[in-house]
Structure 1
Amino acid sequence: MTVGIDTRWFRRYGASAVPRRRVLIMPHAGGSASFFHTWGRAFGDDTEVLIARYPGRHDRFAEPCIDTMDALADEMTEALLPFTNLPLTLFGHSMGASLGYETALRLEHRHAVRPEALHVSSRKAPHKLTPRPLHLQGDEALIAEVRRLGGTDDTLLDDPDLREMLLPAIRADFTIVGTYGPRGADPVGCPVYAYIGDQDPSITRDDMAAWADVGPAGFALRVLPGGHFYLVQERDELIRSVSERLAGTR
């Protein structure tokens, strides 16, 4: 059976040469594909990059947001199947790390597709999660948390009209974050590589080290300077680290 390609789900950056592999980037809560635009051609001429586009923002603004991890992971996995004809690596930041983990489990258990690696950033392991019910609070509490973590332009949050447009996606994503986990430490069949900023206000090195429990095929932790969005100022070093692992040099 031929599986159709659902082009809504991914911003696709084609390789300039015949692609040997693919990398899928999964953004954080409240984030969008545009945050990772500069990653699109960062992994070499032979690597095609997909950046996930969640419903309810940017090109998918008219679509209803998804507010449960299981529903989001189910749809992500199905949309990803046509792209599994090449070796596939997953990278997720914050909420995207949990989504990457759930997607990896679904690919392997439901479709016999094992990703090459799972890269997780700034997010506790699934069995160590301590969800906070921020989604049950008012808009100002959500905005305050987004500001605390960083990663979103404050000018967007300061503009009442723009903030009104952003809030449904932010609330849906924080509903996912607030209702997901803790779950069992179900292992993935691929190596797991974890990254964290050394000044993250919510997550510790030990929190990230617990990802080893779901990565019996291999695990490594990298600590970089910065907070929850260390990957902004440490972009080049993070991409270098991921690229070396894609190439199998570390």
Structure 2
Amino acid sequence: MAPPSTAGTWFRRFHPRPDAEVALVCLPHAGGAAGGYFSLSQRLSAEADVIAAQYPGRQDRLREACLGSVPELASGAAAELDRMIAGRPFVLFGHSMGAAVAFELALTRRRDGARAPHALFLSGRGAPGRGVDRGIRFLDDDGLIAEVRRLGGTDSLVLDEPELVGLALPSLRADYGAAETYDPGPGAVVDCDVVALTGDADEHVAVDDARQWREHTTGAFDLHVFDGGHFFLTDHEPRIAELVGTALRAARGLDAPAGGDDRAGPIRPGR
């Protein structure tokens, strides 16, 4: 992996494209870091300036205090986002907790009258109020690590090394607390197109949970269902990159909208 360009406290670039006409802003899952989007950045660097958030309390921000709520995470990212996108159209992509941060970030920009994202990709998370609180934040350290191991989103080499686990636990616990307690309140609606992605074997996000995101946008809505569990992204990254690439080209005005509206049509399978 190439060393990231530390363009700001909150964001990292692995394949810098400051001259690109459009930006892709990626928000990691609970316990995740900017580097989790290295591969997607590599695939899409020809399309956009790909920017990935680095939350406090991990890796090169290890000495900073973790943030315990989605609004705090979104607020921190929002403070630097305009400088990073530099007036360009942009797309937001978030997985699991990152989907909540992406949604809150879009809500924040709507409240502030700032430019909305062209499209919002919400992956691996149900709509607000759809079974996101599983009480994982209340587990002891061993239980929390067992849950992370079972989901498969963290390198087992990290989880097998006690010293690394000790460094990761504070951010994991803070992130699960943020993810499980996020409530944007009644009437939380964004104005951009929303594309929901989910795994058909994700025991934490039912397909109908993902489908309910259509109630939280005034824009077009699309739902893609993939084979796999909570971290289906790994196996389906080429197809996901195609979907995001279509949205990026649309943001540049070169293609059709990010996705069709499935309110009156079938689910589009991501297979």
Distance 1:74 1:44, change over 3 A: closer
Residues 23-75 of structure 1: per-residue CA shift (max 9 Å, x gap)? 00101001111111112232252510000100011111111111111211111
- Any conservation in 2 of the 1:33–1:52 contact (CA below 8 Å)? yes
What is the TM-score with the length of structure 2 in the denominator?
0.85
Question: Where in structure 1 are there 5+ consecutive unaligned residues?
Answer: none
After superposition, residues 129-208 of structure 1 pair within 5 angstroms as 129-181=131-183, 183-208=185-210
Aligned length: 245
Task: Output the CA distance in 1 between the equivalents of 2:132 and 2:228.
Answer: 22
Q: Secondary structure at the match of 2:121?
A: strand
Aligned to 1:215: 217
Aligned to 2:231: 229
Task: Output the CA distance in 2 between the equivalents of 1:154 and 1:146.
Answer: 10
Task: Output the CA distance in 1 between the equivalents of 2:61 and 2:34.
Answer: 11
Task: Output the CA distance in 1 between the equivalents of 2:184 and 2:156.
Answer: 31
Say if 2:49 is the partner of 1:48.
yes
Deviation at 1:209, TM superposition (A): 0.2
Say which of 74, 91, 102 aligns to 1:89: 91
Task: Output the CA distance in 2 between the equivalents of 1:10 and 1:28.
Answer: 15
Task: Output the CA distance in 1 between the equivalents of 2:117 and 2:129.
Answer: 21
Deviation at 1:199, TM superposition (A): 1.1
Deviation at 1:129, TM superposition (A): 4.3
Structure 1 runs (4+) greater than 6 angstroms displaced: none
Say if 2:100 is the partner of 1:98.
yes
Aligned to 1:75: 76
Deviation at 1:124, TM superposition (A): 0.9
Say if 2:267 is the partner of 1:238.
no
- Any conservation in 1 of the 2:30–2:97 contact (CA below 8 Å)? yes
Residues 3-34 of structure 1: per-residue CA shift (max 9 Å, x gap)? xx971111123228x31100001010011111
Distance 1:24 1:182, change over 3 A: closer
Deviation at 1:149, TM superposition (A): 1.3
Task: Output the CA distance in 2 between the equivalents of 1:81 and 1:142.
Answer: 35
Say if 2:55 is the partner of 1:14.
no
Deviation at 1:216, TM superposition (A): 2.1
What is the TM-score with the length of structure 1 in the denominator?
0.92
* Bigger Cα displacement from structure 2, 135-144 vs 87-96: 135-144
Question: Where in structure 2 are there 5+ consecutive unaligned residues?
Answer: 1-5, 251-255, 260-271
Q: Determine what percentage of the aligned residue pairs are the same residue.
A: 36
* Bigger Cα displacement from structure 2, 35-44 vs 202-211: 35-44
Task: Output the CA distance in 2 between the equivalents of 1:241 and 1:98.
Answer: 20
Q: Secondary structure at the match of 1:19?
A: coil
